[in-house]
Structure 1
Amino acid sequence: MSETLSGPTRTSAGRLLDIAWPDLGITVTAELDGRNPELADALWEALPYRSLQGHALVAGAHLYHVAPVPSLLHLPASTRIPDRREAPDGTVFCSALQHLGIKYGTLTEPMPASPIGRIRPEDMPALLEAGRATWDAVYSTKKEILVEVRPAGTAGGHSIPRLHATHPDANRLIHDLHTETERIWLEAPPELADMHRGWIPSGAGTFDTVLPTLLFVNGETRPLGYAAYGGLVRAAVADMPIDSLRQMTRLLVGIPAEFLGYCGLDKLWTYTQRFLACLDHLDREDFLAVTGQMALYINCLGGWNLHLYPWNTADHLRRHDPAHAGQPA
């Protein structure tokens, strides 16, 4: 698939999408209801696709996955829910974190969100079943549950968008990022899988420990994709001067990528070095193309990090009722 970051313009109200979890034997249908048409249209143009299904780890009953839609990083939302906790169960959201999300029960995190539609009421029991199964997979069993999003009633499929740059070094970098992203989109990146098995060639992990390294890798990868690269894309679209974009890039991406390379994500560090080496030669469009492709790759890594991390290691720790905070156990 070839894509630009400008986004399509067709209207979206009344369109139906099937959201399926083949391994679970569950399919639900969502209706795009006309809210945030630019986001909904960008999603629609990317269909069909598959992704690793994730589940919120701190916010409550919320499903989300990385959508292969570079323009979600910057497209504006015309309709915002001030507090997504108040959205009806079954609300479908698009996010500037490059996520497609679905609220299926109680949420605890108060944050604005951008809705694009609703799951049909008759499909809510199936959605609840998918949510519970995904939570079990992410938190404990580590079963890889894939989600497929497609126009309702159509066959599934999958592709990863490839952006393009005119500068030859940038375009070669985009090609390699695209190839690697395709390789790891639906299968765990080998370097992350090795890390979670305790194979860390650099020796990262004081006194042979593994869990602290996994924690730090997760804590660095997510903001690198969500905040650094997502922020650079949005700043470029908002016409930040190119010299400022270059300066911010050097400030934001080098140090975390070097650390992640030391921990085992060698390819990420190599790609980052190649980006920094050609940065001064990129115009705004080439800068957007590279940062957009990097964001998709890193957000894919982040999704796998969240899935592979052994969250149930501290299963004995449970949150206390706020009314009893500070009281002896």
Structure 2
Amino acid sequence: MGRLIDISWPSLGVTVVAELNDEKNPELCEEFWQHLPFKILQAHPVVSGASMYAWTPIVSSAPVHHRELITDCPVGRLRYSQSTGNKMSIQYGVGLEPLAQPVLGQVLQEYCHLLPDVGKAVWNNLFWQKDLLFVEVSAHDKAAHPGVPKAVNVTSDVAKTFLAEAERISLTEPEDLRDIRLGRVESTGTYGQYFTAWDFANGMLRDYIMYTMYPLLTLSNRLSLEDFSTTLNEFDVPYSSYLGVSGLYKLEEFAGLLRPAIAAAKSKEEVQELLRAFLKYGNRLCAWSYQYFPWYLGMFYNRQLGGQEFPGRWNPEKV
């Protein structure tokens, strides 16, 4: 039997117990276990159907041996997607994307009946309510875990800077993102509207952190130090410069620290320490950007399903 974890939504008054997939994904589960306990924003996918996910404080590159299609996942399945932001997902209904993701574990059967109500509350919150809804994950058997994440020795001052900011914004919205969503970045947005600038920043941030910087981490073992630094410069500057113009000033500043630090690195271990720290910070930005993005605009583009007869007339009771 795998190790047990508690997954709690304090504001909803719900806790479930899940078993980790220690047998089939031992390295991934061990890495996850070492980072317990943690508290993070709870989110919900807007494309892939009835599951919940959250950006964890982990940057995992552990080997994965067991994957499962989202469309095949039973209720209660835990997944861990390294390549899409290091997110932990919990299935509570039908999945829509036929994409395979690593299996992290399974909510015990006696708790699975609680998940649909939690999932619906999380969906409503992400889509339109916009309250801060956190999920807490910890070891079920407190005697089997030290109760704090495993300490990691970080040697780079630049990496320490990234990690300190990631910790600061773990439960607090970053000021730069707040200014973007409130239209305070006056240099962006044609003819005085700022939704388009916000939309571009949200999408570019996701692409930059999740689909560019994380793949670069996986490449860092295979390229020479010089080639990796050159590759990073080519990919990073267009993203970080544009996002800086969009109002993510600290992100642009940190990218400006990352590139010369990578260029000066004497080993691949130094490179990976820097990248992991930057990704931890970037993933926190992604979580907050996702939380406050106005997904409720989707009410204007409903298919005629589940009581949503007319685009623009959204009935949350019938979703």
1: CA distance, partners of 2:150 / 2:41 = 13
Q: Is the 8 A contact 1:162 1:175 kept in 2?
A: no
Q: Tell me which of 160, 164, 184 is aligned to 2:154.
A: 164
Who is 1:79 aligned against?
66
Who is 1:327 aligned against?
none
**TM-score computed with the length of structure 1 as normaliser:** 0.86
Who is 1:269 aligned against?
252
Aligned AA (1:152)? H
Aligned pair 1:42/2:31, yes or no? yes
1:26/1:207 CA distance change after superposition, 3 Å: same
Q: Secondary structure at the match of 2:53?
A: strand
Who is 1:142 aligned against?
130
2: CA distance, partners of 1:18 / 1:75 = 22
1: CA distance, partners of 2:233 / 2:211 = 14
Q: Is the 8 A contact 2:73 2:95 kept in 1?
A: no
Who is 1:57 aligned against?
46
1: CA distance, partners of 2:116 / 2:150 = 28
Who is 2:121 aligned against?
133
* Identity within the alignment, %: 27
> What does residue range 209-288 of structure 1 map to in structure 2 within 5 Å?
209-237=193-221, 239-282=222-265, 283-288=267-272
1: CA distance, partners of 2:151 / 2:182 = 31
Aligned pair 1:66/2:55, yes or no? yes
The offset of 1:137, in angstroms, is: 0.8
CA RMSD of aligned residues (A): 2.0
Q: Secondary structure at the match of 1:31?
A: strand
Aligned AA (1:164)? V
1: CA distance, partners of 2:261 / 2:20 = 41
Large movers: runs of 4+ above 4 Å: 155-163
The offset of 1:199, in angstroms, is: 1.1
Who is 1:92 aligned against?
78
2: CA distance, partners of 1:231 / 1:110 = 21
The count of aligned residue pairs is 299
Unaligned runs of 5+ in 2: 306-319
Q: Secondary structure at the match of 1:115?
A: strand
Q: Tell me which of 312, 320, 326 is aligned to 2:296.
A: 312
Aligned AA (2:196)? P
Q: Tell me which of 188, 191, 198 is aligned to 1:207.
A: 191
Who is 2:3 aligned against?
15
Aligned AA (2:171)? L
Q: Secondary structure at the match of 2:300?
A: coil
1: CA distance, partners of 2:218 / 2:17 = 31
